[in-house]
Amino acid sequence: MKIAHVGLGNMGKTVQRIANARGHQSVAEICDADGIDRGLSLDSDVSIECTVPDSCLDNVRRLCEAGQNIVIVTTGWYEQMEEVKTLVENSGNRVIWSSNFSVGVYLYFRLVEAGAKLINQADEYDVWGTEIHHRHKVDSPSGTAKTLEDILIKNIFRKDSVIEEKLDRKIESNEIHFSSTRGGDVNFEHVIGFDSSADVIKVSHSARNRDGYGLGTVKAAEWLVKQDPGFYGMDDFMEKIMGGI
């Protein structure tokens, strides 16, 4: 598979290294949107977009114009989701996005979902979330945290809003507080707490490095190029390879 790498920060370099180790060929290295010319014809089967939120939409637009299949690794652009869907529909190419391409994190989402459904039946439990990422992370909270928030809100009916900023007041019973910390070089951890006066149940995921994210990204690209044109998410990918756990 021929891959165009759009964005070669720490995550982008990890994806490239793992792709090369799996026998794929890097045919283009593009740092940002300014490097993607309108009407560009790339000699690649798929582009892996791994930049920053402010560049993501313009990158996707230009890659769609170039007829590229795209794996969107960048997070923090989700307010523009409908615009991206329209771009994909009009271009007729294949695009997959996820807040996190790690298979381990996807399994973690499913564990948190199962726990939230149980806690929904036990109203003596409150719920909170926290995350820590490395100091180079440009969005806060992370896309992974946003997905966890959505899972909790959808499955714990007594909760209907999330507070991400500092609280200078008592939290309301319908609110979930999800805090974010940034620091260090290699930090990737999320913790969900189901908390009662008698005990606390913590469900956590910690990554040792970026390799799980990189491997999942490359596997998603391998899967994507075999699909019909369309706009896909991580659930679509996991449905095929793991039966939609």
Q: What is the pLDDT of residues 43-62, one digit of tens each?
A: 899 999 999 888 899 999 98
Q: Catalytic: which of 5, 24, 137, 146?
A: 137
Indicate where the chain has its CATH 3.30.360.10 domain(s): 103-206
Q: Which of 181, 180, 179, 176 is nearest to 195 (CA)?
A: 176
Return the pLDDT at 244.
Answer: 47
Q: What element of type H or E holds 161?
A: strand 161-163
Return the pLDDT at 151.
Answer: 97
User: In CATH, which of 3.40.50.720, 3.40.50.300, 3.40.50.970, 1.10.630.10 is domain 2-101+211-242?
Assistant: 3.40.50.720
Return the pLDDT at 28.
Answer: 87
202 is an active site residue: no
24 is an active site residue: no
Q: What is the mean pLDDT of the chain?
A: 91
d(CA 28, CA 5): 6
Structure tokens at 143: 């896309």
What integer is the mean pLDDT of 92-96? 95
pTM of the model: 0.81
Indicate where the chain has its CATH 3.40.50.720 domain(s): 2-101+211-242
With a pLDDT cut of 70, the percent of the chain lying above it is 94
Lowest mean pLDDT among 8-17, 24-33, 182-191: 24-33
With a pLDDT cut of 90, the percent of the chain lying above it is 76
103-206 has CATH 3.40.50.620 classification: no
Q: Catalytic: which of 24, 133, 190, 205?
A: 133
* Cα torsion 159, 107, 234, 239: sign: negative
Return the pLDDT at 186.
Answer: 77
